Structure 1
Amino acid sequence: MDFIIEAVVKAVKDLYQTDIAAKDVNLQETRKEFEGQVTLVTFPYTKVSRKGPEQTGAEIGEYLQNTLPQIAAFNVVKGFLNIVIADSYWLNALHTDILTDSFATAKPNGKKVMVEYSSPNTNKPLHLGHIRNNLLGFSLSEILSAAGYEVIKANLVNDRGIHICKSMVAWREFGQGETPQSSGLKGDHLAGKYYVWFDKAYKQQIQELVEEGQTEDEAKKNAPLIKEAQQMLQQWEAGDEAVINLWNTMNGWVYEGFDVTYKNLGVSFDKYYYESDTYLLGKDIVEEGLAKGVFFKKEDGSVWIDLTEDGLDQKLVLRGDGTSVYITQDLGTAQLKYDDFKMDESIYVVGNEQDYHFKVLFLILQKLGKSWAQGLYHLSYGMVDLPSGKMKSREGTVVDADDLMADMFGTAKETTEAMGKVADFSEADKNKLYRTIGMGALKYFLLKVDPKKRLLFDPKESIDFQGHTGPFIQYTHARIKSVLSRAGYVAESSTHDVTGLDSVERDLIVTLTKFPQTIQEAAANHSPALVANYVYELAKNYNKFYHEKPIMQAENENLKQFRLQVSAASAKVINKAMSLLGIDVPERM
């Protein structure tokens, strides 16, 4: 509404001989109980008008109505000037903006951003928490791209470290040469199986040592399996050929498994980074920090940074035996990513249990004098629970991503068939529809909630064709497509000369015009939830329009074509909004 802002600036100048900046004009959406679409808060102008807020609002409103043909009327409620925008403005927006191919497609803004998400460990398959991570990262990338950014979608694979060695040790000890082919398991599931085995066997060894008289802390350090894993990590970093070969073999199994999961989840990446390639760069940065006096070395040879003056604590950045810790490789990876792409912003999509880690990481990079450290951002998201409780991967009770997606397919099939609307679908079309609905339900449920909030995912609740769900929005799209198909609607040949709007028609068009701004706000706030909730409101508004305003039985052909145009615009925006969430919408349901 830039034209209103410009007119308000001019009104204050002409009425009260005072210059104000456009950025200081506060426009809000009019509350539903009042007439109008845009509201100006008038209190800031009473100082220059030297009148009460209501009289000031009336004077500005009258000025705007007299000078702007787009304004049909106004009303003042206390200190709020509610502006009624003319129907001609909304009809013009429908034809010259919303229905065009370029609607909600921002021009390049010249800024480059990297979104790092997924970041799996190669010792286990992806689980429900990873699903939220992947969906947030992919959707945010799509939203940023639509908002005009150049986006690089990155995946940092945690392919080294003590946790990886645990799976390797367990396979070497208990595997008897088992492979994905011989077991019938996906490679990531096979690696995860041995990670769980390690933990069970390790706990048994701890218990035995405690029974022999050691304290629990002593037993945790002295258990043969953990010593073997630590030795394997040292051998890996020393380049031991047998260890490296086993590492390559098992990681290869895992990557094949991940690829299947990513494809089914509908996410992709432009760039992969591997911690096995970056941890040495981190060691170089540790040496740089020692030389600059940012880090210090303890008697055992370990390297630390003291962040107590910054309200944090001392942080280990390199072990005494020379092996790296997580922050070592994260320092190296951050530098490598910037060297590769010189991006303006680097977003890390990581759960909120790592909030402290990223505070430390970003602060260290700032203390090292990295100019680009100011552009680092942690998209901290809450954990996902099921009604049964929190997941614990080491105990083998993880809610596996592949299993969950399969369950969503089954639930979508059961729910859709119960409605009895797929009798004329082929088996292939049915299966495609079930997958579309199941994945749409899962994705929408996880994305409609603000990323920072923890959420409880209920698979059955997510597949509800009448609720605040993905299937409700998908069904709305299919309904519109059915109407357009039955009408034989062709966009290029549809014309009308409607000049006035009913309130439900106006509300729908107003909602459609908000889509570009919603994309910008979602990008600025790193929140796909803003797009998710917008498209739900749009679907609700369309369904109200559909039920209150006959389309095929409209009073005349002119009105029918107009309502078909509004329907086509709604379907287009629903499709694009859902695509920004990584969700497909069916043509029929």
Structure 2
Amino acid sequence: MIEENIINALKEKIRELTGRDFEIKLDEPPSVELGDYSTNISFQLARELRKPPMAIAEEIAKSLSIEGVEKIEAVNGYINFFINYKDFSNEITKEIIEKNENYGKGEKKNIKVILEHTSANPNGPLHIGHGRNAIIGDSLKRILEFAGYDVETHYYVNDMGRQMAIVVFGIDKFGLNDKKPDHAIAEVYIEANKYLEEHPEEEEKILDLMKEYEDACEKNIENEITEKFKNAVNHALEGIKETLKNINITHDTFVWESSYVRNGMVREIIENLMKTGKVVKEDVYKLDLSDFGIEKKLVLARANGTSLYSTRDIAYHVDKMRNCDVAIDILGADHKLTAEMVKGALKLLGYNVPEVVFYEFISLPEGSMSTRRGRFISVDELFEEAKRRALEEVKKRGIAENEEEIEKIATIIAIGAVRYNIVRISPEKSMVFKWEDALDFEKVGCPVIQYAHARCCRILEKVEVGDIEGDLFNYELDNSEKILIKTLSKFPKIVEKAAESRKPHIIANYALEVAQTFNKFYGNCPILKEEDVVKKSSRIKMVEATKIVIENALKLLGIDCPGKM
């Protein structure tokens, strides 16, 4: 890559001048007229060389000859590098078209990653908060795999908590209706909570259910209670899996937390933590994590002897760390303390700790949500509304006439609208899901990117796209051509950056940049109407390369391209 050529040449020259190595950082000037890359290294060298930055910059610029760079200028102490775009464009375009769906793909790293995401309690449908978790997690999985990691995704199923005991209690008392399974479970859960508020004396039955289920799991036996819990959890998961599938998400493994009670790991973890000397007896046994700056103690078990979610979570993480090189958890920001406690316990036990990607809350303009009280917007509702609005747009724009095709295109646009609008915001920022952004065909929505791709398809349908023979770009490129080629060339580095930083929004923002850059190129440079044969051929190949990069980028976000918009 040209960037590497520039950095290596600068390092060698600076080593010659100073006798030591310096870190070189390249920036991009605000316009291609000022250069393609720039460095302010002369300012860092001024004190050491006892010369003004301008003199140093001029000396370095005059002495360098770099492959792929046609001009080097010293301006006010900065060194600006200008790419040889004829060679660069030819090389990049050929590489993208030859590699096609593999363009940007990293080499195998032989690093096993277990990525846990979604993991919503099976007491109702996924709401949009769970949706943000799932979309971030699934996008990150796709990016990591493309970057060369071996990735296994987990959904950690909380089948032992109080919430599932309330569901089992509710099913016994009120039965299940024939709605979508996860929605039917939610109605029972809400009704049971309301009943318990009105009849607090029945609360004892919930504790008894929890105890009976855990006792059966500890003995690793199947009985009427375990059957009830399994049926309730599986019924909810059936609906949850359908929801996830609707937005292109699947998990490799569903790990039930009760499995760690059944196999004895929870008991083993508690015993091993006792041996650390950090367990104190108060009203119950608690783990002192003050060595890790955590004031609150971690309760290891309830007074009635049942284990807690956090203890079972530690067992799950021990199991994970034994079976991967890197573990990544996607968690809501409200889980920060719990996550730190689990990390502290793992360190005490001598295990590596997971990386955690925290995401802030997402809401609709209507406000906050509560599954317990029945105030939530489900991902199903979000998707159905997106599809309804997408159908309206597809029909209004006359994109297709065939009903089946209209349905297919609207579904692809709806999935893109939901997934892209959620993933484009950095996880650490809270967000409000706005329809005017999600289905925006003009500025920031996924339809902008899908439309640019569709425009590429329309152009390519009108020409015979053959193999590249000989050199293209044998002319002075327009600035919008230069910017597009340079933007397309960034994709491999963008993938690497998104994977290493665990931030899928980097891909989302890049995909939009490609679409916007392509639209400027399309507006400034004739393609099919271009009379110069070399220019026309070159620009058609740029269109083909753009189509490939958009497809590859959106695929990493779990989004398809309808091909017609």
Task: Name the CA shift for 1:468/1:333 in 2 (closer, same or farther; >3 Å).
Answer: same
Which of 411, 417, 420 in structure 2 is aligned with 1:435?
A: 411
Partner of 2:441: 465
287-296 or 575-584: bigger deviation: 287-296
1:489-504 alignment, distance < 5 Å: 489-491=465-467, 496=472, 498-504=474-480
Give me the TM-score of the superposition, normalised by structure 1: 0.90
Distance 1:47 1:233 in 2: 70
Task: Name the CA shift for 1:500/1:581 in 2 (closer, same or farther; >3 Å).
Answer: same
Instruction: Please say if 1:234 is aligned against 2:211.
Output: yes
Q: Give the C-alpha shift of residue 47 in structure 1.
A: 3.0
Which of 341, 355, 358 in structure 2 is aligned with 1:377?
A: 355
CA offsets 1:307-343 (integer angstroms, 9 cap, x no match) = 234332222122222111111111110112233x2x2
Task: Name the CA shift for 1:25/1:89 in 2 (closer, same or farther; >3 Å).
Answer: farther
Partner of 1:51: 51
Aligned residues of 1:283 and 1:328 also touching (Cα < 8 A): no
Distance 2:229 2:49 in 1: 75
3-state SS of 1:121 partner: coil
Partner of 2:70: 72
Task: Name the CA shift for 1:174/1:272 in 2 (closer, same or farther; >3 Å).
Answer: closer
Aligned residues of 2:167 and 2:192 also touching (Cα < 8 A): yes
Distance 1:127 1:95 in 2: 43
Opposite residue 281 of structure 1, the aligned amino acid is M
Task: Name the CA shift for 1:158/1:79 in 2 (closer, same or farther; >3 Å).
Answer: farther
Partner of 2:563: 587
Distance 1:489 1:524 in 2: 36
Task: Name the CA shift for 1:494/1:548 in 2 (closer, same or farther; >3 Å).
Answer: farther
Partner of 2:340: 359
Instruction: Please say if 1:552 is aligned against 2:554.
Output: no
Task: Name the CA shift for 1:481/1:394 in 2 (closer, same or farther; >3 Å).
Answer: same
3-state SS of 1:137 partner: helix
Aligned residues of 1:412 and 1:435 also touching (Cα < 8 A): yes
Aligned residues of 1:75 and 1:81 also touching (Cα < 8 A): yes
Aligned residues of 1:495 and 1:562 also touching (Cα < 8 A): no
Which of 315, 327, 335 in structure 2 is aligned with 1:332?
A: 315
Distance 2:309 2:474 in 1: 64
3-state SS of 1:296 partner: strand
Partner of 1:121: 121
Partner of 1:220: none
Q: Give the C-alpha shift of residue 19 in structure 1.
A: 3.0
CA offsets 1:207-257 (integer angstroms, 9 cap, x no match) = xxxxxxxxxxxxxxxx12322111110111122822222112222322221
Task: Name the CA shift for 1:5/1:494 in 2 (closer, same or farther; >3 Å).
Answer: closer
Aligned residues of 1:294 and 1:368 also touching (Cα < 8 A): no
Instruction: Please say if 1:272 is aligned against 2:254.
Output: yes
Distance 2:285 2:306 in 1: 11
Distance 1:267 1:155 in 2: 12
Instruction: Please say if 1:185 is aligned against 2:179.
Output: yes
Partner of 1:212: none
1:92-491 alignment, distance < 5 Å: 92-101=90-99, 102-175=102-175, 178=176, 183-205=177-199, 223-239=200-216, 241-279=223-261, 280-298=264-282, 300=283, 302-312=284-294, 313-339=296-322, 341=323, 343-370=324-351, 372-373=352-353, 376-423=354-401, 426-491=402-467
3-state SS of 1:263 partner: helix
Partner of 1:3: 5
* RMSD between aligned residues: 1.8
CA offsets 1:170-193 (integer angstroms, 9 cap, x no match) = 221222xx3xxxx33111111111
Partner of 1:538: 514
Distance 1:544 1:319 in 2: 63
Partner of 2:19: 18
Distance 2:423 2:198 in 1: 41
Opposite residue 410 of structure 1, the aligned amino acid is R
Distance 1:325 1:162 in 2: 10
3-state SS of 1:358 partner: helix
Aligned residues: 552
Q: Give the C-alpha shift of residue 33 in structure 1.
A: 7.8
Which structure has more RCO (C-alpha within 8 Å, separation ≥ 6)?
2
Distance 2:382 2:14 in 1: 59
Aligned residues of 1:87 and 1:499 also touching (Cα < 8 A): no
Gap runs ≥5 in structure 1: 206-222
Distance 1:89 1:304 in 2: 66
Which of 86, 91, 100 in structure 1 is aligned with 2:84?
A: 86
Opposite residue 138 of structure 1, the aligned amino acid is D
Aligned residues of 2:190 and 2:372 also touching (Cα < 8 A): yes
Aligned residues of 2:92 and 2:485 also touching (Cα < 8 A): yes
Q: Give the C-alpha shift of residue 164 in structure 1.
A: 0.3
Aligned residues of 1:266 and 1:582 also touching (Cα < 8 A): yes
1:32-43 alignment, distance < 5 Å: 32=31, 35-42=34-41, 43=43
3-state SS of 1:142 partner: helix
Q: Give the C-alpha shift of residue 406 in structure 1.
A: 0.9
Partner of 1:211: none
3-state SS of 2:462 partner: helix
CA offsets 1:98-154 (integer angstroms, 9 cap, x no match) = 222142111112222111001021211111111111111111011111112111111
Partner of 2:219: none
Opposite residue 54 of structure 1, the aligned amino acid is M
Opposite residue 91 of structure 2, the aligned amino acid is A
Distance 1:578 1:285 in 2: 42
Distance 2:191 2:433 in 1: 28
Partner of 2:26: 27
Aligned residues of 2:180 and 2:239 also touching (Cα < 8 A): yes
Distance 1:286 1:79 in 2: 63
Task: Name the CA shift for 1:121/1:563 in 2 (closer, same or farther; >3 Å).
Answer: same
